[in-house]
Amino acid sequence: MWNSKQSQNDQPAPSPAQQPQSQSSYNPNPVPSSRPAAPAARNLACLGATIEVKGQISGDEDLQVDGKVTGPVQLGSQKLTVGRTGQLNSEISAREVIVYGKVTGNLRARDRVEIKKDGSVVGDITTARISVEDGAYFKGRIEIDRPKSHVSSEPESAEVPVGASN
């Protein structure tokens, strides 16, 4: 009741940073200046179901493969999605690998690997996290990479000789 009138009248004046800008700094095209502050959108490249690639694939954008690929795929810190019609006979290295189709070859994912319901992987997997859905096919070995913080603490303890006293 009395708070509603007081809160309208007693609001502090806006700070200089909050006050509207003058006409001299008016930008008629605000989109480019606001773009760098916005999070970067991930680019996605697609290989369609009728595309067949023989050779090495590498890049700095996410990739979805619905066709056939024979040869190594190296995406570094990007995501690889193998679509339902995708067939890869490849050594794969990426940040994240999601398999809906068929992969033959070893997978190395820095973050995670997901094998979906109808997905198939024949090969060894090295990753930090893995998810294999019910109905998926997997034949190979799995090696879970532990975060680097655990590895860095081991060399410190290795410096102290066995049997040495303080």
**Verdict on whether the full-model pTM lies above 0.75:** no
Helix, strand, or coil here: 42? coil
pLDDT tens across the length of the chain (166 residues)? 555 555 445 554 544 444 444 444 555 454 444 444 444 556 889 999 999 999 999 999 999 999 999 999 999 899 999 999 999 999 999 999 999 999 999 999 999 999 999 999 999 999 999 999 999 999 999 999 987 754 444 455 455 556 655 5
Q: What is the pLDDT of residue 39?
A: 44
DSSP, res 124: -
Q: What is the pLDDT of residue 89?
A: 97
Q: What is the pLDDT of residue 32?
A: 47
Strand 73-74 versus strand 44-47 pairing type: unpaired
Residue type present at position 137: Y
Q: Strands across the sheet with 137-139, in order? A: 52-54, 68-70, 87-89, 102-104, 120-122, 137-139
Beta strands in the chain (DSSP E): 44-47, 52-54, 57-58, 62-65, 68-70, 73-74, 79-82, 87-89, 92-99, 102-104, 107-115, 120-122, 125-132, 137-139, 142-144
Q: What is the pLDDT of residue 140?
A: 97
Separation of alpha carbons 48 and 128, rounded Å:
29
Q: What is the pLDDT of residue 2?
A: 54
Q: What is the pLDDT of residue 37?
A: 43
Q: Are 85 and 65 in contact (CB under 8 A)?
A: no
